[in-house]
C-alpha cells in the first residue's frame, strides 16, 4: 500500500476516534457544553488530534515530519507527547498544561490525565523506558510516573504523587514516594475501605454509585464505602497512612492520660497524702539544649 493510501486510511480512523474522544470529554468534564466548544477550546483534544497524526507519520517512517508536528502541538497546547507514544481510545487530558508523555509510554483506553503529569523514564537506555497505563487509569495533577513498569487497570494516582514502582490493578496511590491507600475498588474504579468477597455483594456496591446512594441491606456491603469519581485521582475520605498512624498514637496518648487521671483519683481516695506530693515540672527551657549550649559558647568567647 502506498504512503498516501496509508495516510488516508489513518485519517479516516482518526476521524472516527475523534468522536469517541469528544464523548469522553463530556463524560469526564461537567464544564463541557457542546462539541464545537470542545473542538475549539480544549487543548487536550488539540494535542490528541495532532498526536494521532504525528503517530501515523512516525509509523510510516516519516519521523522528522512527525517530530515537527509534535513540536508544533507542544507550542500550541503546552502538552508534549512523543510521536512514538501509543495511546488508546477515549483518552482525556484535562487542562493539559505541563503534561509530558515519553517515547515508549503506552496508554490504554479510557485513561485520564490532569495537568502537570509526567510519564517519564529514569534511564538513558534504549528500549522501554516509560510506564504503561492500562485501561481506566486516572493520574492526578502534578503526578510523576517514572520508569518502565505497569500501572494496573482502574488504578488511581493522586495529585503530586511520585510513582516509581508497579501499581496493582484497582489501587490508589498517594504521596512521594507513592504509598498505596486502597487496593480494591468497585466496578467503576472507586476505592472501597472494606473488601467485599461475594460477587452479588460487589454488584450491589457497584450499583450504589455515590456516597449519597441508599445504604444496602447486606451487612458486609453496608461497611463498604463508595465514592463518586474524584477529579484528582484520590478519595477525599482516604487518610494518608502516616497521618493515620499519628492520629492513632495521639488517640492512644489521650486514652492513657484519662486512665492515669482515674488512677490518681482512686489513689487519692485511698491515701489523701498522695495528691499532696509535688513533682518537678518540666520547663521548655530544660529542653532547649542547643540554645543553652550556644549561650555557654558565647559566654566563653567573651571571657
Which residue in this structure is represented by grid cell 507519520? 57
pLDDT digits (tens, 9 = 90+) for 16-47: 788 899 999 999 998 999 999 999 999 999 99
* Integer Cα distance of 207 and 199 in angstroms: 12
pLDDT digits (tens, 9 = 90+) for 124-138: 888 999 999 999 999
Which of 4-13, 173-182, 233-242, 274-283 tops mean pLDDT? 173-182
Distance of CA 184 to the CA centre of its chain: 15
pLDDT digits (tens, 9 = 90+) for 138-153: 999 999 999 999 999 9
Q: Are strands 100-101 and 80-81 parallel, antiparallel or unpaired?
A: parallel
Q: How many CB atoms lie within 10 A of CB 113?
A: 29
* Integer Cα distance of 63 and 57 in angstroms: 6
Indicate if the alpha-carbon torsion angle 260, 262, 263, 268 is positive or negative: positive
Give the lowest-confidence range in 95-99, 101-105, 126-130, 271-275: 271-275
Q: Topology of 8-180 in CATH?
A: UDP N-Acetylglucosamine Acyltransferase; domain 1 (2.160.10)
- The pTM for the full model equals 0.63
Residue spans per domain, the chain: 8-180, 241-280
Amino acid at each position: 500500500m502506498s504512503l498516501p493510501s496509508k495516510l488516508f486510511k489513518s485519517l479516516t480512523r482518526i476521524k472516527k476516534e475523534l468522536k469517541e474522544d469528544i464523548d469522553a470529554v463530556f463524560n469526564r468534564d461537567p464544564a463541557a457544553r457542546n462539541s464545537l466548544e470542545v473542538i475549539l477550546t480544549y487543548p487536550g483534544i488539540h494535542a490528541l488530534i495532532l498526536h494521532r497524526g504525528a503517530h501515523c507519520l512516525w509509523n510510516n517512517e516519516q519521523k522528522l515530519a512527525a517530530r515537527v508536528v509534535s513540536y508544533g502541538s507542544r507550542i500550541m497546547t503546552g502538552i508534549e507527547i512523543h510521536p512514538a507514544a501509543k495511546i488508546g481510545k477515549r483518552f482525556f487530558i484535562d487542562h493539559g498544561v505541563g503534561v509530558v508523555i515519553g517515547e515508549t509510554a503506552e496508554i490504554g483506553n479510557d485513561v485520564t490525565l490532569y495537568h502537570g503529569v509526567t510519564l517519564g523514564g529514569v534511564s538513558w537506555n534504549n528500549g522501554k523506558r516509560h510506564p504503561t497505563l492500562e485501561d481506566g487509569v486516572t493520574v492526578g495533577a502534578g503526578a510523576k510516573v517514572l520508569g518502565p513498569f505497569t500501572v494496573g487497570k482502574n488504578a488511581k494516582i493522586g495529585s503530586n504523587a511520585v510513582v516509581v514502582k508497579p501499581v496493582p490493578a484497582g489501587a490508589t496511590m498517594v504521596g512521594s514516594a507513592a504509598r498505596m491507600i486502597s487496593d480494591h475498588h468497585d466496578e467503576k474504579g472507586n476505592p472501597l475501605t472494606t473488601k467485599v468477597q461475594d460477587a452479588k455483594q460487589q454488584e450491589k456496591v457497584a450499583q450504589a454509585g455515590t456516597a449519597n446512594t441508599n445504604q444496602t441491606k447486606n451487612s458486609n456491603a453496608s461497611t463498604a464505602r463508595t465514592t463518586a469519581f474524584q477529579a484528582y485521582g484520590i478519595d477525599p475520605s482516604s487518610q494518608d497512612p502516616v497521618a493515620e498512624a499519628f492520629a492513632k498514637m495521639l488517640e492512644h496518648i489521650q486514652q492513657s492520660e484519662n486512665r492515669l487521671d482515674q488512677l490518681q483519683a482512686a489513689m487519692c481516695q485511698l491515701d489523701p497524702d498522695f495528691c499532696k506530693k509535688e513533682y518537678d515540672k518540666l520547663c521548655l527551657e530544660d529542653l532547649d539544649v542547643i540554645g543553652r549550649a550556644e549561650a555557654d559558647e558565647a559566654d566563653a568567647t567573651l571571657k
